Structure 1
Amino acid sequence: MTSALTAFNRALDKNDAGKLLLRLAVGGLMLFHGLHKLFDGVDGIQSLLAAHGLPEFIAYGTLAGEVAAPLLIVLGILTRPAALLVAFTMIVAWLLVGFDKTWMLDKTGAWAIENIVYFFIGALAVACLGAGRYSLAGNSGWR
């Protein structure tokens, strides 16, 4: 049994493939949020910022955190800084729209801020792991 488990573990020991899958999940799924704001505008974010007494121009930062950074993550270019930008964006999202829902469940029983937490923790994992071998930046420091 031990030899079968060892063989199974060895067959799935693909760190670079795992890093790629994580990058595609975090960056690719976050990109959908950003593309929505890119095509439909950041008016909703501006309203949220104004309601919190913050300058509305900050809303354009969401395009960096939800479009540019996710693209860099997916491509494996400047992966760690881009992932930290996504994590920071999720902290801001939590403070603006999720803070009051932190200890709540949604109508299906899921944690009300699980999307924010998923992207935050996923981005931190990408920042810790880096791009891996499958990156458009190759073996350069730009990974």
Structure 2
Amino acid sequence: MSFFNNEHLGKLILRLALGITLLLHGIAKIGAPDVLESIGEHLEHLSLPAPLAFGVFAGELMAPLMILAGWRCRVGGALAAVNMVFAIALMRMSAIWSLGDTGGWHLETEVLMLGASLALMFCGSGRMAIRPD
């Protein structure tokens, strides 16, 4: 197998990039005590139950840890994908048709994380994982 034909290394790189990025978002929310209340209020404003705000922890703490370790990576990818769909729908919908000054889509980070989450959900962790799937 050549170095440039290594799907398992590619999956590891994808897992590290997504897992670290999501985990840092989750860690930042732990340190900010009003974040869950703010998200809960936003959910209530949209006629959704405020306790759904705890799903942020599943999507930004549990899912990236599962993804990084490669343990139940498909489940972690699914959790992260649901988290990103909610993040886009609830918090970033106003930016869906807008571009930045340099032409970049305002949702590019969220869409890239959603795409990476879906890719891991369908492809699994690869061999370089605690429990390859």
Verify same fold: TM over 0.5: yes
Match of 1:36 among 23, 28, 35: 28
**How far apart are residue 108 of structure 1 and its match?**
4.1
The corresponding residue for 2:42 is: 48
Mapping 1:1-143, distance limit 5 Å: 10-41=2-33, 42-137=36-131, 139=132, 143=133
RMSD (Å), alpha carbons: 1.6
- Unpaired segments of 5 or more residues in structure 1? 1-8
Distance 1:58 1:43 in 2: 11
Identity of aligned residues (%): 34
TM-score, reference length from structure 1: 0.84
Aligned length: 131
| Structure 1 residue ranges (4+ consecutive) displaced by more than 3 angstroms after TM superposition | none
Task: Name the CA distance, whole Å, in 1 between partners of 2:103 and 2:25.
Answer: 23
Measure the CA separation in 1 of the matches of 2:13 and 2:44. 37
Are residues 53 and 108 of structure 1, via their aligned partners in 2, closer, same or farther at CA, if it must alter by over 3 Å?
farther
TM-score norm. by structure 2 comes to: 0.90
Unaligned ranges ≥5, structure 2: none
Choose 1 or 2 for highest CA Rg: 1
Judge which range, 86-95 or 41-50, deviates more.
Answer: 41-50
In 2: Cα distance, 1:92 partner to 1:32 partner: 18
Deviation of the 1:44 alpha carbon:
2.6
Letter in 2 for 1:15: E
